[in-house]
Amino acid sequence: MDADAPLLFFDSGVGGLSVLEPARVLLPNAPIVYVADNAGYPYGGRSEAEIASRVPALLGRLVERFHPRLAIIACNTASTIALDHVRSALDLPVVGTVPAIKPAAELSKSRVIGVLGTQATVRQPYVDNLAAEFAADCTIIRHGSPELVDLAEAKLAGDEVTVDAVRAAAQPMFDALSGDRIDVGVLACTHFPLLREELEAAYPGVEWIDGGPGIARRIAYLTREQPWPADPRGGVMIFTAEPRSPLLGTLARYGIGEVRTL
Could you give the dihedral angle defined by the CA atoms of residues 174, 152, 19 and 255, in that order, rounded to the nearest 10 degrees?
A: -160
pLDDT at 234 over 90: no
- CA 259 from chain centre, in angstroms, equals 20
Question: Rounded to an integer, what distance in angstroms lies between the CA atom of residue 121 and that of residue 10?
Answer: 16
Average pLDDT on 212-239 reads: 95
CATH 3.40.50.1860: which residues of the chain?
7-97+213-261, 101-210
What confidence tens digit (pLDDT) does each residue in 9-40 have? 999 999 999 999 999 999 999 999 999 999 99
Average pLDDT on 50-73 reads: 96
Q: Quick one: pLDDT at residue 248?
A: 63
pLDDT at 86 over 80: yes
pLDDT at 244 over 80: no
pLDDT at 246 over 60: no
Percent pLDDT > 70 in the chain is 98
Q: Is there a contact between 259 and 239 (Cβ–Cβ < 8 Å)?
A: yes
Average pLDDT on 125-141 reads: 95
Q: Is there a contact between 256 and 233 (Cβ–Cβ < 8 Å)?
A: no
- Would you call 138 a catalytic residue per the annotation? no
What confidence tens digit (pLDDT) does each residue in 164-191 have? 999 999 999 999 999 999 999 999 999 9
From the list 189, 238, 247, 251, the catalytic residue is 189
42-46, 88-92, 207-211: least confidently modelled range: 42-46
Kindly give the pairing relationship between strand 139-144 and strand 184-187. Answer: unpaired
Confidence bin at 202 (pLDDT 50/70/90):
very high
Collapsed DSSP state (helix, strand, coil) of residue 208: strand
The verdict on whether omega for the bond into residue 42 sits within 30 degrees of 0, i.e. cis, is yes
- In CATH terms, the fold of domain 7-97+213-261 is Rossmann fold (3.40.50)
pLDDT at 245 over 70: no
Confidence bin at 157 (pLDDT 50/70/90):
confident
From the list 8, 27, 75, 112, the catalytic residue is 75
What confidence tens digit (pLDDT) does each residue in 93-111 have? 999 998 999 999 999 999 9
Following DSSP, what letter does each residue of 55-106 receive, concatenated? Answer: HHHHHHHHHHHH--SEEEE--HHHHHHHHHHHHHH-SS-EE-----HHHHHH
Q: Quick one: pLDDT at residue 249?
A: 67
- In CATH terms, the fold of domain 101-210 is Rossmann fold (3.40.50)
Question: What are the φ/ψ torsions at residue 218 (nearest 5 degrees)?
Answer: -65, -40
